[in-house]
Amino acid sequence: MSIAKIGVIGAGLMGNGIAHAALLSGFQVTLIDAFEAALPKAVATMTKNMDRQVTKGTITAEARDAALKSLVTGSDFALLRGADLIIEAAPEREELKAEIYRTLAPVLGPDTILASNTSSIPITRLATLSGRPDKFIGMHFFNPVPMMKLMEIIRGIATSDATFAAVHAVAEKLGKTVAAAEDAPGFIVNRILCPMINEAIFILHEGTGTVAAIDAGLKLGANHPMGPLELADFVGLDTLLAVMRVLHEGLGEDKYRPCPLLVKYVNAGWLGRKSGRGFYDYTVTPPRPTC
């Protein structure tokens, strides 16, 4: 099937980025969020980021204006009626995603594809909750979406070939390189990345190294563009914890146990950049380690 209209559920960091990338790739986009106040902030963020792209010469002012004119926002799921593809980009809570799928069901057309941007929850399980497993698929984008070139596409056990082909074509139009992953906890990237970050937190927790030493070690010793603790703050410590819990539950091995310090930070509301504090304090410039 040919996809022209895309719905995005969730106007947070990931949903905003997905909408941004889709608009600049020529899709009509409807961005939905249950919290009306999130929508003008999302549009302002998109506009600011597109303005930056215009300044850098990566897009034209005409392309920016055309993209923003193709955007519809609102809190009513009825606005998604007629969408060819709907991408759910809600937080990593299975019960929340299930509620979204139940609310969404009446507005879905017979051929509408439903995708989740989940970074770890099994696609087959979400597909069953959606009530349309043949037209359900995982589209795991990476942050920041407009710049990151990878997309993991994950089929559930019942995902049809037509659904996979249509979503693969969307990924190519978005300029993404596709990594097709099996439906296993964490898929490919997070199965490797999140335990590495979690181990860095254990090293901090045990007093083996400081925040500065751990991040410098991986940046200078392994040529990583960001240290693991800096990256954890960028991703969001709540998101990291959710992924680690899925890995621990799904794979049952102690090596996937979330570090107690990670749990403590999330309980304290220290979620990283988005909360202003995590392994770094973002109320000062440049950010400084909190321990």
Residues belonging to the active site: 119, 140, 152, 190
Determine how many CB atoms are found less than 10 A away from the CB of residue 147. Answer: 12
Instruction: Give the DSSP letter of residue 257.
Output: P
CA 233 to chain centroid: 14
- Rounded CA-CA distance 188/179 in Å is 8
CB-based contact 285:273 (threshold 8 Å): no
Residues 272/278, Cβ–Cβ less than 8 Å: yes
Which pair of structure tokens corresponds to residue 184? 């296993």
How far is Cα 154 from Cα 138, in angstroms, rounded to an integer? 5
How many secondary structure helices (H) and strands (E) does the chain include? Answer: 11, 10
CA 268/CA 7 separation, integer angstroms: 34
What is the four-CA torsion angle of 157, 244, 104, 10, rounded to 10 degrees? -130
Residue 124: which of 170, 158, 100, 169 has the closest Cα?
A: 158
Q: Which helix (H) or strand (E) holds 177?
A: strand 177-181
